[in-house]
Amino acid sequence: MAYNTTVIKKDADNKPIPQYYNPLVDEYEVLQGRNGASRVELYDANGNPIDLVNLITSIINILNQMGASTEAKQNEIKEIINNIYNKDTTRTYYGKSSETKPTSGVIKGSTFFEIDTKTVYMYDGTNWVVI
């Protein structure tokens, strides 16, 4: 498929602007977003857009039905969100030795660098271990 390069969108100074090629209409379209980031829509496995507001509302309703406390609800939601963002992905954390290292939602194999001692820890699934 050949891209239609003659219609690249440009700004007032005739410089290309952030855009993407849409093969369905054979045109470049302006990339929407703010603060330097593109706008993203999430889709489920069937190609349907995911409504995050309804998803979070459903989670809160389930927690309400379970009779969970407000603090417990917040912790459950944080864990669900962490699992979505951290699914099977290790992360690198940074902090001072005096700070508490995270444990909620941390994936085994993630690392923590103490910036004041230069000590490196790895999470073994239960504890942070010096490596």
Point out the domain boundary residue: 52, 71, 87: 87
47/82 same-domain check: yes
Its domain, for residue 126, covers 88-131
CATH of the domain at 99: 2.10.10
* pLDDT value at residue 1: 53
Tell me: pLDDT of 13 over 80: yes
67/94 same-domain check: no
Neighbours of 90 (CB within 10 A): 13
* pLDDT value at residue 128: 94
78/49 same-domain check: yes
pLDDT band at 5 (very low <50, low <70, confident <90, very high): low
95/72 same-domain check: no
* pLDDT value at residue 98: 94
Tell me: pLDDT of 86 over 60: no
111/122 same-domain check: yes
102/113 same-domain check: yes
30/60 same-domain check: no
**Tally of domains in the chain:** 3
Average pLDDT over residues 87-95: 75
Listing DSSP states for 48-85 in one string gives PBP-HHHHHHHHHHHHHHTT--HHHHHHHHHHHHHHHH
pLDDT tens digits, one per residue of 20-72: 787 888 888 888 776 666 777 777 777 778 888 788 878 777 777 776 666 77
